[in-house]
Structure 1
Amino acid sequence: MREEMSGLDLRQVVAELSEYVGAHCKKIYQPHHEQLVLRIKPREKSPQDLVIVRGKRVYLSRRDRPMPTQPAPFAMLLRKHLGNGRLTAVSQHGFDRIITLDFDTKDGPRHLIIECFRDGNVILADSTFTIIQPLTHARYSGRILKKGEPYQFPPVAIDPHDLDTDALQRLLRESKRNVVRTLAGRASLGGPLANAVLQMSGISGDVAAEKIAEDTGTVGKISTALSGILAELSVAGDEVPGGWLILPMEKLDLGEEEVDIARYAVEASPVQLPAHGEFHCLPYPRFVDAVDAWMGNHDAAALARRQSEAVETIGGRAPSTEAETLERRFSQQKSALQGFSDKIRRQQEYGHAIHNNWSHVEELLTQVNDEVESNGWEVALSRFKDIPWIESGDPAKSSIVAILPDENGAAEGAKVTLFLSMSVHQNAQQYFETANKHKDKSKGAEVALNETENLLQRAQKKESKRKETGQVARVKRTKRLWFENHRWTILDGMHLLIGGRDAKGNDTIVKKHLKGDDRYVHADLHGAPSCAMKLQTGFAVDPNPPANLPPGVTAYRLSDNIEVADFSDTARQQAATMALCWSRGWSGGGGAGTAFIVKPGQVSKQAESGEYVAKGAFIVRGARTWFKDLRLKLGLGLVCINGIPLLMAGTHVQVAALCDRWVELIPGRSKRERIASRLSKVTGLAVDDIVPVIPGTSELAADHGLINPHNHEEE
C-alpha cells in the first residue's frame, strides 16, 4: 500500500487546489503532531478542509473531524499569521514533492511550504522566504530549516514534461544504473510511474540505462509512453475522471460503502496505470476526492490517535478520575523509593570497596599527587592513558576516576571518584555520607508513599461507589466548552441552540455567533434572552467515547459542519419553547407562552430617530414566525460532549430522544441550588456545573433513570 504521494500525484493536487485561489483561510487545527488542517472558505461555496499529513499526502475533505479544544502552538502561530488570509497561488516546486501555498494576509504576503519527502515538514515563511517557524526543525546538507533562516528549496529536479526523446536519451546515456532506477530517480518519476512507463514500452527495468540509450527506437517508445501518461494527467478531471480508487477484484461487491472502501483500497491515483489492470478502479471527479475516500476516515480520527498515544506514554488510561491519578502517583513514588534503595546500596558498596582496598588506593593517590606536583595536570592526563587503574582525571575538581581491583586482583572492579586532596578514609566517607542523605530522603518518600496509599484506598472506594450508583467521573479541566458560557441545548437535527444569560451575553450571541444562515429566536416577554439557532454548528455521535462513562450516558462531539440544509419544523418549535423557558416566564407562574423566530437580517441595533436601544436589546423588523401556546416543561439529561460529562436542559421530547437517563423539570418553588445539590449527589457532577442549566425555581417531576439508574435499567 502506497501512502506517500509522488510528484505526479502532487501535480494533480496543485491543479485541483488552484480552483480555490481567492478562498480565505478561516481556521487552522493540529489534531495530531503529524497532521495539519486548514479550513478554507471559497466564495459562494461551503467550507472545505485542506488536510496535510506531513511526508505523506495533501488533499481536500468535507468530513466532520473532532478537533482539540486547546490548539497546538504551531496551529496558534499559523492562525496568527494566516487567519482570514486570502489564498493567492498554489504551486509545485518543479516536479518535486514540495507544494507552496501563497497567502495575502493583514501582515503582508505569507508562504506555507509543504514538504512531502523524507519525514515531511510544513514551513511558514514571510514575503522574503525567511522562515517564521517550521513544524519541525531540521538540518540537511546545504540548508537549515530553523526560525530566522532563509528557506532554500532543494535543487530543482528534472521535470518529466521537459523530457523529449533527445533529452531522455542523454539522461539514459549518462546514467550508470539500470533503466528503472534512472527513470525513478534522475527523471523524477518515482518507482510506480517509472515501472508503468517501462511496462507500457515493453522493456525490462533491470536493463542498464546506457544500453537502452544506444537504441533510439527503444528510447522513443519510453518517451511515447511517458508522454501518454502525462497527457492523460493534463485532462484528468475534465475529459476523464480526476482520480481513481484502486480496489482488489474480489471486493467488487462492496458497492459504495465508505468503511469497506477505506479498509480494502490499495491506493488512490490520478491516472490509471498498467499495474492497475488486475484491480478494480473506482472513478472520482477529483483526485483529492479519491484520496479522501481512501484515507479520509483514518485521518479524521487523528485526535483520537493522539489521545491514545498520550495514554500509552504514561502507561495506562488518561487520568480523568481521582483514583487513576493516585494510582499513577503511587506507582511513581514506589519507583522513586526503589531508586533510593538502589542508590544507598551502591554508595555503601563503593565506600566499603575503598576501605577494603586501602593500600591500593593510598598508593594510587600518592603517585598521582606526585605526578601532578612534578609535571602538572596536562602531562599527568596524557600518562593516565597507560595506567589501567585510572580511567580519567578532572583538573577542575582535582580528582580522578579510579578502577579498583576485583576478586582476582584485575583492574575490573568498581569505578570510584577519588579526590587528591582527601585521604583514603575521607574519600570513603564521601560515599557513606551520600548514602545517609539518600536514607533521609527515602524516609520522606516512604511517608509520602504511605499517605498516597491511604488516599488511593479511599478513592478506590469512592470510585466503586460511583460505579454502583451510576455517577460520572468528574473531569478536571481548566477551560469550559465555549457554548457553556451561554444557555445551550441540542435541537432536532442535532443543531446547537444558544441563548444569552444577561445583557452582555445577548450582545455576544447576536454580534458574534448569529450568522447569515442561522435564525434568531426570542420569547414574547420583556427581558427574554436573545437566542441563536446554529444551522451548521451542532453535534454528532462520538465514535470514541471515554472508557469510564457509566451505562446510559451517550457521548457526542461538537461539530462545525453537520451538513443540514435547513431547520426542521420540530427544531423551530423546540427552539421557541427553550427561548420561553429561559425567560422570566418560567418563574412567572404561567403554564404557557409565545415566542417568535426571524432571520438574522431582521435583527439590528439601529434604532429609529429619537429612540434608544439598551445594552442587550435589539430592534426586530419585518414579518415574524410566531409560535403560540408553548408549554413550560423541560427535561434534564446526562450527556458527554467532547469527553466532558454535562447535564443538558432541553424540551422533554428531545431530551428523551438523546439521553437514556433524564428527569422532567417543571416550574416550582425549590431554589436552583437545592435541586442542583440533589442532582450532584446522584450524577457526580459539580453543583456549579448544574446550577446554570436550571432556568429558575423549579421542581423535579418524573424520573427516567437520572436519579435512580437502577429503576431505569429494570424498565
Structure 2
Amino acid sequence: MDPKRELTSVDLAALVGELGAYEGAKVDKAYRYGDDLVRLKMRDFDRGRMELILEVGEVKRAHTVAPERVPDAPGRPPQFAMMLRNRLSGADFAGVEQYEFDRILEFTFEREDGTTRLIVELFGQGNVAVTDGEYEVIDCLETVRLKSRTVVPGSRYEFPDSRTNPLTISREAFDHEMNDSDTDVVRTLATQLNFGGFYAEELCTRAGVEKGLDIPDADEDVYDRLYAAIERLALDIRNGNFDPRLYLEGGEDESGADGDADDAATDEADAADAHVVDVTPFPLEERAELAAEPYDSFLTALDDYFFRLELDDEEESNPTDQKPDFGSEIAKHERIIEQQQGAIEGFEQEADSLREQAELLYAEYGLVDEILSTIQNARQQDRPWDEIRERFEAGADRGIEAAEAVVDVDGSDGTVTVDIGGERIELVTQQGVEQNADRLYTEAKRVEEKKEGALAAIENTREDLEDAKRRRDEWEADDGESADEDESDEEETQRDWLAEPSVPIRENEPWFDRFRWFKTSDDFLVIGGRNADQNEELVKKYLEPGDKVFHTQAHGAPVTVLKATDPSEASSSDIELPESSIEEAARFAVSYSSVWKDGRYAGDVYAVDSDQVTKTPESGEYLEKGGFAIRGDRTYYRDTPVDVAVGIQCEPYTRVIGGPSSAIEDRAVTTIELEPGRYAQADTAKRLYRTFRERFEDETFVRKIASPDRIQHFMPPGGSRISEE
C-alpha cells in the first residue's frame, strides 16, 4: 500500500479547529526551503515555541511540528522568505479557515500596518500565495495563468470555482447530486460530492452500502443511510470529536491486536519492520486490518506521520542507484523562465501604458484641467461626492465634453476615472494635470525597475537551467564509463581541467559584470565602482537595506558594496553578514583603491550600513559626482592588507574571476596572486595571459575566454607584478 503523501479535504477540515487554538501567537521569523516548503517560527503565550510547516510539493501538508524536528535554517534567505519576514515579523496569527471543502487553507495574520493572508493550495502542483487584506497577491511560489483563474503578483487572488461542500449539504441537495449521476454510488460520492475515492469508500462501508451499486438501483433507504453517515462525519468534525490514528503496514501483526507479555520483544521487532501508510483524525473502518497507533491530537499525529514517512523514504531510497530526475528539474526551470519572460513582457506593457496615459494628459491638457478644477472647486464649497458625480452625469447627458469624459468619481479615495482616447486613466483630484502626469511617469519608472529585477532573476534561472543540463550530461557520461557510481563521483571531483585537451565553453554575463566584482567565500556578492559614474549608480540604484558600504580614506577610492541580497530579491536588514565576507570586502576595497596605485601593501578602510549613506549634503557642503555623505559612526579596519588574485573558472561557467585570494581559490581551477609592482597594468595582464596558456593543455580555451583585456578587467589600477616573481 502506497503511503499517503497529501492531506485530504477531511483532514484539512479536522486540523483547522486544532490550529485555531493557536490564535494570538506571534510570528518571529519565516523560512523557505527549496521550492515548496515554508516554515513559520511563532510564539504562543500558553504553549511556548510553535513551528508551522507548509509543504506543497510532492508531499502536501500543513501542520505544527516539534521544534527539535524542524530543519536547520538555510544559510541565505531567498527572496520569498525575506518578503514573508518583512510582512509577518511581529504579526499576530488571527486564524485559519478551509476554503469551502477544497484543499485550500487561508491563514490570516494581523499587524498594525495591515493584514497578510497566506493561501496554501494543497492540490495539483501546490502553491503558497501571499496576499494583503484585500486579496491582492504580493508574491507566490508558483504563478498560475489559466482560463479559469489567475494567481500572479499584482493581481487579485482568484479561488478555484466553487464545488459542493458535502459537510453542509442539505438532504434535498444531496438527493439532487446523487440522482444527477450516471455511475455507481462510490464514484458519485467521490466526484459529485467531492469526498475523493478513499472517504467515499469509507462512507459506503459505514453506511453498509455496496460500493459498486448503480445509482438507478439505489433506493430511498440507501440514500438515508449514506446521508446519515455523512451527517455523523460532519458532526464529529464540527464538534472536534477526534480520536486520531496513525496506521502502519509491514509488521507481522497488522491487526493491531494485543499479544501476551511474553511477545513484547517480537512486537517491538514487528513495529521496527512496519512503515507508516496513513494518518486520520478518527479510526476508519477501511483501515481496520492495519496496525494503528492512537494519538491525543491530530496535529501531533500529523507531525509523527510525516516525520516517520521521511525516515521510511530515506531507508527505501538509495540515491547512488537512482538517476536524478533531471528531466523534471530542467522542465521546471524552463517553465519558470517562460513565466519570467511573461512577467517581463507584462512590466514592459504596463510601463508603456502608464507613459501613454501621462502623454494623453498633456495632449488633452485643457479637458483634464477642466475636470480636475470642477471637482476641486466643488469640494472647496463642501459639496458631497455624490452630488459631484450626479453633476457630471447630468453634464454628460447635455453633451458637455468634459463631463462625457468622466467614467467614475470615487470619493472614498478622492479619485476620478476619465476616458481619454479610449484609455481609462485614474486621476487624483487634489493634484493638477502636471502632478498626475508626473505620478504616472514615476510609476512607469518603478515598473521599469521591477523589470530590471526580473531580468536579473531570469539570468539566475538560466544559470540554474544550464547547471541542471551540465549535471545531466556529466551523469550520463559517467554512467556510460562506469557502473560504479562512487568511482565516477571520485573521478568527477578530481577532474583535471588543466589537462583536458578540449574545455567546453559555458559563458554567462551576470548583470554586475560591468562593475568590479567578486563572490565572497560565503557566496555573497561584492561590487565596486570603476569610476565616478559607477560609484553614483551603485549608491543610487543598487544600495539596499542590509548592505554594507566600504571606503578608504584615499582620494578617488571606489564605492564597494557587500550585498546582503540580490537586486531581484526583497531587501532586508535581517541578514547577518559573515565576518569572513566583511574581511574579504575590506581587502577588496583597499586593493582597488589608490593604495595599490601608490605601491603600498596596506591601508585603512571603514565600513558603514547602507542607511548611513546619503547623496544629500549638509547645508554648505558640496558633493562631487560619485561622492556621498556618511551619517553616524564608522567601523574602521586598520592596516588592511591588499590582496588580489586572478584565476580562471571552469564550473559552472568558464570565465576569468578576480578578487581576494581566499574568495576565488576554491572557485578557480588555477590562480595567480598579484602585488603592487612596477609593471603597467596592460603588461602584467599579458604576462598573466601567457602563464595561463602554459598551464592549460587547451590553449585555444584560454584565448577564447581569458584574453589580456579580460584579465585586465579584474586587475587593480596602477603597476603590478606576479607575487612569486
Shorter-chain TM band: 0.3 to 0.5
Q: Which structure has the bigger radius of gyration? A: 1
Give TM-score scaled by structure 1 length.
0.47
Give TM-score scaled by structure 2 length.
0.47
